[in-house]
Amino acid sequence: MGAILVTGGAGYIGSHVVRQLSEAGHEVIVFDNLSTGSADALINGERLIVGDLADEKKIGEVLRETGCKSVLHFAAAIVAPESVLLPLKYYSNNTRNTLNLIKACVDNQVERFIFSSTAAVYGIPEGGHAAEDSPTVPINPYGTSKLMSEWMLRDAAFAYGFSYVALRYFNVAGADPQARMGQRTPDATHLIKVACQAALGMRDSVSIFGTDYNTPDGTGIRDYIHIEDLAAAHLYALKYLEQGGTSSTINVGYGQGGSVREVIKVVKEVSGVDFKVVEGPRRPGDPADLVAVADRIRSVLGWTPRYNSLRTIIEDAWRWEKKLFEKQK
């Protein structure tokens, strides 16, 4: 089907998808400004074009030159608390730049578009479980910027005749099982990475924000999904569109939750380190429970998870974090 353009392909999620695409025999071209990504994450020699989606002219030139008919779009700012403090950064990086990319895709007859969206579009879903038709009521500019991008994609696809899949991620975690790649961001806020860093002595403690939720152990529950399963969902989505599938919005999660206390317990077991845990009050806007209703991804894409165990996710994350720590010493 020709070369595939991957924006943000040098980042945490994008690089895992790029690697899986290359391993499946696709020619992959990565477009990334390297603000948070790393060229070292492209381990199979994929072509890297350093550029920013704010540059409409450049992304148009890249699409014309490469002739890509499939685009996978990951480039975005993704820290929800930061988005509250810096909303215009998120509307610029996420919404406006997605508009620039969609315009370039329309101008260059791109046929298939896969969008990296988020469960943050749901806000705080009633009952803690979100299906694709649940109300979309984001509670921060990050979620809003992604939802606006979904709307633009929907309307442009209808008007201009291309097809898309918008994948709404739940809590992505873990690393390549062979520890070739993983999350590199040093100041990441993801619980599993933070807990692994605490076990390595890189942080003084791990904080639990809220211990009085109406959950079995009082702490928040999230649907943690292994990065390898998440990445594979994009290959399934691409195949679905190549085979003539209609545009669709799909949750990417397991439909099962793990609590903050459970995560900390397993990290301590896997690492063998009893690091300090500090209990504090709830953070504003944090739902007690956020789990995917994950039927559509199985029925529409035929996706089947391979790593849907919290322990497996944490074991792979720990292996990567140890490797990263040793390299940085």
> Which residues are designated catalytic?
142
Helix (H, G, I), strand (E, B) or coil at 165: strand
**Inter-residue contact 196 to 271 (CB < 8 Å):** yes
Distances, alpha carbon 58 to alpha carbons 51, 54, 136, 179, in Å:
7, 9, 33, 34
Query: Which residue bears the tokens 């974090």?
Result: 321
Cα separation, 161 vs 21, whole angstroms: 25
Q: What is the DSSP string of 34-74?
A: -SS--GGG-TT--EEEE--TT-HHHHHHHHHHH---EEEE-
Contacts of 28 (CB under 8 A, 6+ apart): 3, 4, 6, 9, 18, 21, 22, 46, 47
Query: Which residue bears the tokens 């890249």?
Result: 62
What is the phi/psi pair of residue 224, to 5°? Answer: -80, 130
Report the run of H or E that residue 207 belongs to, with start and end.
Answer: strand 206-209
Number of helices and strands in the chain (H, E): 11, 15
Q: DSSP label at 308?
A: -
Q: What are the DSSP E strand ranges found in 52-128?
A: 70-73, 112-118
Cα separation, 154 vs 167, whole angstroms: 13
